[in-house]
Structure 1
Amino acid sequence: MAAPTIDPKTIFTPDEWAGLRQRNDWIGLGLVVHAYVLIGLAVALFAWAPNPLTWLIAVMVVGARQLGLAILMHEAAHGGLSTNQKLNDFVGHWLCGAPVGASLHRYRPYHLSHHRNTQQSNDPDLGLAAHFPISQKSYQRKLIRDLTGQTFFKQTLRPLWGFLRAPTQASPEARAAALTFLGAQAVVFILFAAAGQALAFVTIWLVAQASWY
């Protein structure tokens, strides 16, 4: 059964609605910088005192900020990172989405369709919520799959491996996704290597990414 649609302008006053729609370049772009600063500090902590505790802290912080970058890509899909559309899209795609295996250009049409048709029969996200609420055991299974990297393997590494095995047979969309991901990871690796932390690219960056995906 489709949920009833509501025009938000019947709930908020014009002034309230204008405030909700306001964009602030300093906040949006500042949050992107903040995410990378925390990632750098977390890796620096491990480099300064390499031990199991600092490694765990680094993985947790880096993973949380990788998720934060994915969330900021979501904001960019709504034009929320910058009032300059080109800057918004560049930062949202290349600095937020690509490093964590996502694509603003593929995500935006899908996600905006969800907002236009929320809880309607043509909502593309309808299937994601259809099986909720779930049992405690089901939740535990999902949590284990995410923390152990199984979801990351299924959604990112398996399609990537398929592309690498037969690149000429991949669809243009799959090819673009794989090349964007590989290119972004190459840049991140170069930055880690330049800081003398090439191994941390695998043990922290990729492990963190696999744990929240």
Structure 2
Amino acid sequence: MPAAPRARPLDLFTPDEWTPFQTRSPWIGPLLVLHCWAIIALAMAAGVLWPILIPLCVAVVGTRQLGLAILMHEAAHGGLSPDRRLNDLLGHWLCAVPVGASLAAYRPYHLAHHKYAQQAEDPDLVLSAPFPVTRASLGRKILRDLTGQTFFKQRVLFAFGSFASRRDEDLAEGAVVTGRSVASFLLVNLALLLVLVLAGVWWAWFVLWLLPMATWFPLVTRLRNIAEHACVEGSATDPFRAARTTRAAWWERAFIAPYWVNFHAEHHLFMHVPCWKLPALHRAVRARPQGRRMEVAPGYLAVLAKASARS
């Protein structure tokens, strides 16, 4: 069971150059969690006040629900706070649980993904192995996401034991974290519903929280998974090609890839670098000869074109 090949920081940087990437802030992580919830609250308020904006608000809320999952991922690496207890508190209750996840279940699963990235033992290999697919196949996957079928499979059928295996592309990451957090997920969502009932806008929970979670959130999660590892040649043997970085325009960061999740090649190179330092790490690595081997896509549309190039 060989582990994935690794790169060492000192192969690229001097100790002084590497030190800034090792330091962690006690306040940026909590502020990112606050920022994510503030965007969700503002988008829900906008949808309540101006119903014509509801389709836009659904996309914004769904992307920030992915943002909560990304910040849970940051907590799995201890990046939300140098204080382990605060890191896990924020990562579990304010990031993981509201979207049906469990930090305790996700952490060992995800660290196994890093240890065996793109090897046969990688628990996330099922997410990238099928690609490239045909455009029709990709279209069916997107349709399943936008019509709530993926959500139903992950949040309902799996939670009640209808699937015995996680070797399903729709279940791979979502299921392993969802099945062990049903009670807390329902409790937190009931509390959110109660707040909206007391505010006199009970319907907002269904239209501006549950609907994004059932449609846009699965879609952008799928786009994230495809962009990170699918169709990267040499990903199993070269640590600089273990994942893909995707250049993201402002609209892609707003509606597809929040909180620097698009810098995935850098994250796999040095997984303990905080997410807000990944843009600087990207520039530093790309300035080295080894960094030129990294897979860097010009945008998410280019990634989808490559992932659906099978005839």
TM-score by length of 2: 0.60
Q: Deviations over 1:37-80 (max 9, x none)?
A: 1111112112222x3x2211221111111111111100010011
Structure 1 runs of 4+ aligned residues shifted over 4 Å read: 173-176
**2:47/2:57 contact within 8 Å kept:** yes
The question of 1:190 aligning with 2:194 is answered: yes
1 CA distance for matches of 2:178 and 2:31?
A: 31
- How many residue pairs get matched? 201
Once the two structures are overlaid, the 10-residue window that deviates more, 149-158 or 183-192, is 183-192
Which residue number corresponds to residue 30 of structure 1?
A: 31
2 CA distance for matches of 1:41 and 1:64?
A: 13
2 CA distance for matches of 1:4 and 1:75?
A: 21
Which residue number corresponds to residue 84 of structure 2?
A: 85
2 CA distance for matches of 1:102 and 1:79?
A: 17
CA distance 1:174–1:111, shift in 2 (3 Å)? closer
User: 1:24 corresponds to which letter in structure 2?
Assistant: S
Alignment of 1:101-116 (within 5 A): 101-116=100-115
**1:73/1:96 contact within 8 Å kept:** yes
Q: CA deviation at 1:133?
A: 1.8
Secondary structure of 2:120's partner?
Answer: coil
CA distance 1:29–1:133, shift in 2 (3 Å)? same
**1:76/1:92 contact within 8 Å kept:** yes
The question of 1:5 aligning with 2:9 is answered: no
TM-score by length of 1: 0.85
Q: Deviations over 1:101-160 (max 9, x none)?
A: 111110000001111221223222222211112222221111111111111000112234
1 CA distance for matches of 2:116 and 2:158?
A: 29
Identity %: 47
Q: Deviations over 1:159-208 (max 9, x none)?
A: 34569xxxxxxxxx987421121112112212222332211101110000
What is the aligned-residue RMSD (CA, Å)?
A: 2.2
Secondary structure of 1:81's partner?
Answer: coil
Q: CA deviation at 1:26?
A: 2.1
Which residue number corresponds to residue 93 of structure 2?
A: 94
Which residue number corresponds to residue 210 of structure 2?
A: 206
2 CA distance for matches of 1:175 and 1:134?
A: 29
Which residue number corresponds to residue 56 of structure 1?
A: 55
Once the two structures are overlaid, the 10-residue window that deviates more, 183-192 or 100-109, is 183-192
Secondary structure of 1:25's partner?
Answer: coil
Which residue number corresponds to residue 166 of structure 1?
A: none
Q: CA deviation at 1:81?
A: 0.6
1 CA distance for matches of 2:201 and 2:17?
A: 48
**2:193/2:202 contact within 8 Å kept:** yes
**1:99/1:188 contact within 8 Å kept:** no
Secondary structure of 1:133's partner?
Answer: coil
User: 1:115 corresponds to which letter in structure 2?
Assistant: H
Secondary structure of 2:186's partner?
Answer: helix
User: 1:202 corresponds to which letter in structure 2?
Assistant: F
